[in-house]
Each structure stands twice: as C-alpha cells, then as structure tokens.
Amino acid sequence: MEKEKREKIAPQRRTAVVVGGSSGIGRETALRLAARGYRVYNISRTPFKGDRVQTVEADASQEGELKRAVESIAAETDGIDILIYSAGFSMAAPLEYAKSGDYRYLFEVNYFGAVETLKAASPFLKKRGGRAVLVGSLGGDMPIPFDGFYSSSKAALVMLARESDLELRKQGVRVSALLPGGTATDFTYARRVYGEEDARAYTSSVKKASAALANMEQGGMSPSLVADAIVKLAHKKNPAPVAVAGGKNTFLRYMYKFLPERVTDWFVKRKFNQK
C-alpha cells in the first residue's frame, strides 16, 4: 500500500510594517527586520532606496491614507506580525506666533497618524499575536524650549501606547513606546525653524534653543543603535509598555520623573541656552 502523499505547506513568512521607514531610525529598523527574514513594507511619501523593502506611498498627515496603505498590505499578507510607527515632524517656534497649520500638521504626523495606523492594523495584528512599537522621545518627558508641540505630541504618543497595550493585551497584541534621546539623523535638518519674520522678538532665543537641540541630536545615539532597541523590544515575550533606548537616556528619564519640576526646568533652561 502506497504511503499517502501529503502536501508540504511552506511556513508563513512574517510581515513587518514600518511607517516612516525611508530614512533615519525607521530605515535602520526596516533593514534589521528584513535581515531577520521578515517581508518588510515601508509606508511613507518617499520610496525606500533598495530592493529589500517594499514601499506603499502614503502621507501621514492626510486622513485615510495610512488606513488605505495598511489595508492594502494586509490584503497581500493576511496579517501583520510587527508594526513600527516612526514618522515624525518637528518645529522650533514660539507659542505666541506659532501657525496653526504648522502645529496641526505636526500632530497629524506625530500623533493622529499613529492612532490611524494602529487602529487600521489592529485586526491584522490580532491574527498573528503581533507587536506594535511607537517611536516616542525623551522630549515627551521634558519641555524642549520652542519645540513644545513636538514634546506634547510625544507625550501623547506614550499614553496612546500604554492605553492601547491595556486594550489589546487580551487579544494577544502588545503595544509599546520606545523612547530614544537625541539621535544623529537628517531629522535635525528637516526641522522647521521660525526665522525673524515669524519668531519676531523670540528670534534669538529660538536660534539658541534650536542650535542646542541640533548639537544634542547630532552628538547623540546612532540610528542603528535605536533600531536595535526597537527590534529587541518588538521581539520580547512580555515587552514593557514604555522602554528607553540607551543607559544614559534611562538615567535621564529617571531624573526627569523624580526630581522636582523647578529643578528639571532649570536644567533644561541651561541645556538649551535659555538663561
């Protein structure tokens, strides 16, 4: 009697989606996931350079585009194992003269884009017991002079990760925020810095603060180290809802959390040349 022939079913290839994966931290993360054998998709306005990652073009500031992109990927893969939200925008501007179009755009990219992506991806993450990592910032724990909208959006992102993790945990999905400090990427040079015409009486202070922030970023962690921390967090069996990249940054976050605000504000003023 001949043995029954059984069809061999190839193991399902894991899928990772990186929003903002065309440059900086997002690009390094996408490359590391591809090296681990994931089928990696980048969602951004700019295509990923190289053939290891597929790009689905979408603008994070436009309502509905991220949802469309996520659903088009899921139609091909039937599920998502890892979701990384790394899109971001920053502006150096005084509160008094900040333009609503600028700070609303910032929140669309930094926060509401993450909400839309996580919401759209949740059904597909549940199919695979997936993981989501939202890239926050230590700036969400402390004020950055004249970059307060960015700090506010990153603080909101952390709370989104924590609350989403509570909601989705019973469904087998874990959500975390990863907080890097200053990181040496081109994000520094893409920051919108208000000049004399827009900043007016605050011009000198804006220049000093944005220069100090740029130096901090360019002298900070490499994007590859931050990407390593993201990938490690995404593969933990029981990931922390909030994690920090780097030992020095972990110490700084502890200090910001437990020292009195007047002390940390004094430190921030000196750090950003706002004496």
Q: Where are the beta strands (DSSP E) in 58-186?
A: 82-85, 91-92, 131-135, 174-179
Q: Are 106 and 148 in contact (CB under 8 A)?
A: no
Q: What are residue 27's phi and psi, to 5 degrees?
A: -65, -45
- State yes or no: pLDDT of 9 exceeds 80: no
Q: Would you tell me how many other CB atoms lie within 10 Å of the CB of residue 182?
A: 19
Residue 16 pLDDT: 98
What average pLDDT does the structure give for the chain? 94
Residue 94 pLDDT: 98
- State yes or no: pLDDT of 21 exceeds 70: yes
Which tops the pLDDT comparison, 10 or 100?
100
| pTM reported for the whole predicted model | 0.94
**What distance in Å separates the CA atoms of residue 33 and residue 249, rounded to the nearest whole number?**
24
Residue 220 pLDDT: 96
- State yes or no: pLDDT of 208 exceeds 60: yes
Q: Classify domain 15-271 at the CATH topology level.
A: Rossmann fold (3.40.50)
